[in-house]
């Protein structure tokens, strides 16, 4: 099984005729994702590699039954694109765009209140359920179908962990990049809850980083609600306070959000914290084989 996406997911790509949208549409389709439509205002009726293109998401949904969206539009248009998708009835929106103004995302979060819609991102590599569907920029070939869920704030570290697991013969149920911006859609707690209730997931890997309280919140949720084992790694242990490291959300402010604080909270909750990313594959292997308990 999987969370968020599966073989029945029908994807519309917003910004399909742009450079990034065009390239990754081809990659998603080649992986087996059901890309059923594209949206590019003013270019309706001009198919892209056999995929019908529409002026609006609503037109695309009405014609194809699309139920998920991949947003590949420039930052200044991205918030409107996300809200357009949700207004058209899309229930899973994956926003790959980075550099979206924070105030724009605050408006999106306000718009989402009371709506039956889920936003992944922005500034995310996307989501993939190996063997079924991928929405985003993740390299499909390094993934393997299996029963370990992964959720991460870092795209690059996600690829590293997936590669380690796959080389050890350990497959993944779903990998979710929640995004590295200060204001995002789904967070660690949301994704952990989905994995906890997913019969196809036996264990979960969290890849966090400095800044914010997402990891501390995840620790609290794990302590109270989870029965499945979780392994965590926190990036940025050597980051100096006040300096942004890579992601807009990765900044230590007022002495809060440090790697040490996060590692302590996770460990206190009973989560196995791995200090070196190179050891995550071994830690997962040991846990699954029952040689290491926590």
Residues identified as active-site: 247
User: How many Cβ atoms from other residues are within 10 Å of residue 29's Cβ?
Assistant: 16
213 exposure class (CB count in 10 Å sphere: 0-12, 13-18, 19+): middle
Q: From CA 122, how far away is CA 105, in angstroms rounded?
A: 9
Query: Which of 250, 215, 249 has its CA nearest to residue 232?
Result: 215
Strand residue runs (E) in 114-257: 118-120, 126-129, 133-136, 145-152, 172-177, 203-209, 230-235
Structure tokens at 268: 């206190």
Asked if 178 and 206 touch (Cβ cutoff 8 Å), the reply is: no
């Amino acid at each position: 099984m999987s969370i968020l996406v599966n073989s029945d997911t029908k994807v519309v790509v917003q910004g399909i005729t742009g450079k990034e949208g065009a390239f990754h549409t081809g990659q998603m389709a080649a992986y087996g994702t059901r890309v059923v439509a594209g949206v590019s205002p003013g270019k309706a009726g001009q198919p892209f590699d056999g995929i019908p293109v529409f002026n609006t998401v609503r037109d695309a949904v009405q014609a194809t039954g699309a139920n998920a969206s991949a947003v590949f539009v420039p930052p200044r248009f991205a918030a409107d694109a996300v809200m357009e998708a949700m207004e058209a009835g899309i229930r899973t929106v994956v926003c790959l765009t980075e550099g979206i103004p924070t105030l724009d995302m605050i408006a999106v979060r306000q718009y989402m209140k009371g709506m039956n819609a889920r936003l992944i991102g922005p500034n995310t590599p996307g989501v993939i359920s190996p063997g079924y569907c991928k929405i985003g920029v993740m390299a499909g070939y390094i993934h393997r179908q299996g029963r370990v869920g992964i959720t991460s704030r870092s795209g690059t570290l996600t690829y590293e962990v997936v590669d380690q697991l796959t080389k050890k013969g350990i497959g993944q149920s779903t990998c979710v990049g929640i995004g590295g911006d200060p204001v995002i859609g789904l967070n660690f707690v949301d994704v952990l809850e989905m994995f906890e209730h997913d019969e196809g997931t036996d264990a979960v890997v969290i890849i966090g980083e400095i800044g914010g309280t997402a990891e501390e919140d995840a620790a609290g949720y794990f302590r109270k609600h989870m029965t499945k084992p979780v392994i965590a790694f926190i990036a940025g242990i050597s980051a100096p306070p006040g300096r942004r490291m890579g992601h807009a959300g990765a900044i230590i402010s007022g002495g809060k959000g440090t790697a040490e604080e996060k590692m302590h909270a996770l460990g206190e909750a009973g989560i196995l914290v791995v200090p070196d990313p190179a050891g995550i594959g071994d830690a997962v292997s040991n846990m699954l084989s029952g040689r290491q308990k926590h």
